[in-house]
Amino acid sequence: MYLFSLYKNRVYRIFNPNKQKQNLFVFTGDMGTNVLNRLFVEYNEDNYFIAVSSDNAHLRENVKIDEHNKIFIGNKSEYSCGNRDFESGLDYVKSNRKRIRSILKKHPTKHIILVAGLRYSSASGIIVGVSMITKTFKLPVTAIVSTPFATEGQNAFTNSSKAIIALNQNVAELIDFSCDDLMRENGGKLLIRDLDGRFEEKIMGVMGAE
């Protein structure tokens, strides 16, 4: 069934290039990759999907979308995940701003949805950098983000706080959820599928409201 869906989507894209679609999803960093892969298979006919990351190995090996929609913006080392702070994420986007903007512009849409896990990684800065680009498109933009666990430390919370402040200025709607709250809801345990489930719940809520 999975392979058939992939084949159907590829045939559809050949005969429907650059069609305006309902949403353009931009996933930044590595959290939510499983959600991205599932949504791509199920909803590609009506939505575009792009992944932006400073981890080239992750993009190549784990992200299952069209190759031309995987945007690597990290250090040149093939297996480096790049620097893991907010400012580095902003710098990665700044250094690739024209390329990112050009790729996004090739996907006509009614609504842009940015997705990221805010933690001790460059994803916090990357999603803000991308939101600065999409802010110029004169389209509604929604950001869906998770905030870090308390155990991830002060650097993670610093990254997250900077991103939240900036996103509130750059997007029409910011939807955030706490990893700590989610873990408490699950009796003190949290599996990747729980985190993915919450991302998917928030995304489907936005799609269902359209």
Where in the sequence is the domain holding 102, given as residue range(s)? Answer: 19-208
Classify residue 9: in a domain, yes or no.
Answer: no
Is 179 or 161 the better-scoring residue by pLDDT?
Answer: 161
- Dihedral through CA 85, CA 91, CA 97, CA 103, nearest 10? -30
pTM summary value: 0.87
Q: Concatenated DSSP letters for 84-140?
A: -SHHHHHHHHHHTHHHHHHHHHTS-EEEEEEEEE-SSSTHHHHHHHHHHHHGGGTS-
pLDDT tens track for 114-166? 999 998 778 999 999 999 999 999 999 999 999 988 888 888 899 999 999 99
Classify residue 3: in a domain, yes or no.
Answer: no
Classify residue 26: in a domain, yes or no.
Answer: yes
| pLDDT, position 83 | 78
Token pair of 34, please?
A: 């499983």
Percent of residues, the chain, with pLDDT higher than 70? 87
Confidence grade of residue 80 (pLDDT, cut at 50, 70, 90) = low
Percent of residues, the chain, with pLDDT higher than 90? 64
18 touches 106 (CB < 8 A): yes
pLDDT tens track for 6-54? 555 555 555 555 689 999 999 998 888 999 999 999 999 999 999 999 9
Q: How many domains, in total, are found in the chain?
A: 1
| pLDDT, position 153 | 86
> Residue 84 sits in a domain of what CATH number?
3.40.50.1440
| pLDDT, position 193 | 86
Classify residue 6: in a domain, yes or no.
Answer: no
130 residue type, one letter:
V
| pLDDT, position 158 | 92
Classify residue 122: in a domain, yes or no.
Answer: yes
pLDDT tens track for 192-207? 788 889 999 999 999 8
